[in-house]
Amino acid sequence: MATAAGVLCGSSLLLRSARAIAAPALSAGEYFLVGDGVRGKETLFGTADYAPIPGRIRIWRFGQVLAQEIELPFFPHSFTSSPHAPQRIVTFEKWGRQMAEIDLGTLTAIRITQAQPGRRFFGHGVHGGNFIYATQMDDAQGMGLVSVMDAATHQVVREFPTRGVFPHDCQWLPESNTLLVVNSRRSYAASKTGNNFSSVVWLDADTGKCRKQVYIETTQFGYAHFVRSSDGFLVLSGSYDVPGGMSQPLLAVMRPDDSVQALMPASTTLHGEALSLHLNESDKLVATTLPNSSLLQIWNYQTGEFVRQFELPEPRGLAFSAEHDELLVTSAPGSSVFALDGAGMVQAPRLIAAGLAGRGSHLIPLHL
């Protein structure tokens, strides 16, 4: 059994690092969470001195003229909520050492937790009720991990390898006790030579046993996020570090037979990453944001065909509003929210809220 994670929960720390702004409690309904702030010196390989910059969670819903905020000692990347108590949120730092548990009922951070020595959080995880599962990197051993923590105390009860390195997105496979994890690269050594593959791995949540692993066997690697359709299609996004210091977006579909088709051509002139994803299963469409290219693209994930794109200033997070039947997109400049029709994603995005979002990578819907 692994040793306990460092749990920083003293009242003096919380007073300094986590403060609720616009204090009234949240009423029932649909909300959207996004991280806000700026990155510190965190890097993929963890070579820079760790120096996080305080950030915040911003909480917004339709009709609000002010966003509610909860301050944190780091820039939050993604969020997961307890299946038993949706107002209890856990958020993770990307490539850093901290995670936080939030109570939206009181708009406070109730626990800030440090990763174990030699480990870094990689931005994502899932809340299983009794346990929290977080992707991490063990830099000493050069391997990716899933850290399994007691949901009540954040103590590490076990951890298991992801069979790759730099694991990022982590989600439940519906109707199973299986975690799906994306490994950005195959091994730590290969990461520095350029001979590498990304992979998706199916892991038993209790034992860590690998049930299946599919490698994306192309010369380009660096996949980080995915969405999964109910009939077994996975769409993956990320970025490939081109020799010379540039990066270009990656987008691919993994079919139910485990075959992989790259959607973004290797010859693309676009820069940066393909970031957030949203599936419209009825029309077999997937939307993805490309922040550095200031584009929102729509593809048919079954046929692999490019459908359309919209220009949008540095789009980042995507979330579907069930209450309004619209797809929401955050735009980093101005911390704005745009909306377009959630059905065919045909209409050009329109501005619906300025200054109420954040610069975070993901927009997460929440129903209270």
pLDDT tens digits for range 235-267: 999 999 887 778 999 999 999 999 999 999 888
Let me know if residue 348 belongs to a domain: yes
Let me know if residue 225 belongs to a domain: yes
Using only C-alpha atoms, what is the Rg of the chain?
19
3-state secondary structure of 186: coil
CATH number of 151's domain: 2.130.10.10
Let me know if residue 320 belongs to a domain: yes
Percentage with pLDDT > 90 across the chain: 81
Please identify which residue in the block is written with the tokens 């980080």: 224
Rounded CA separation 146/18 (Å): 26
For the record, the structure tokens of 221 come out as 């690697």
Let me know if residue 1 belongs to a domain: no
Let me know if residue 173 belongs to a domain: yes
What is residue 343's predicted lDDT score, i.e. its pLDDT? 79
Let me know if residue 95 belongs to a domain: yes
92 vs 65: which has the higher pLDDT: 92
Whole domain around residue 78: which residue ranges? 6-367
Give residues with Cβ within 8 angstroms of 124, minimum separation 6.
77, 78, 80, 92, 134, 135, 168, 169, 170
Q: How many domains does the chain have?
A: 1
What is residue 19's predicted lDDT score, i.e. its pLDDT? 39
Let me know if residue 142 belongs to a domain: yes
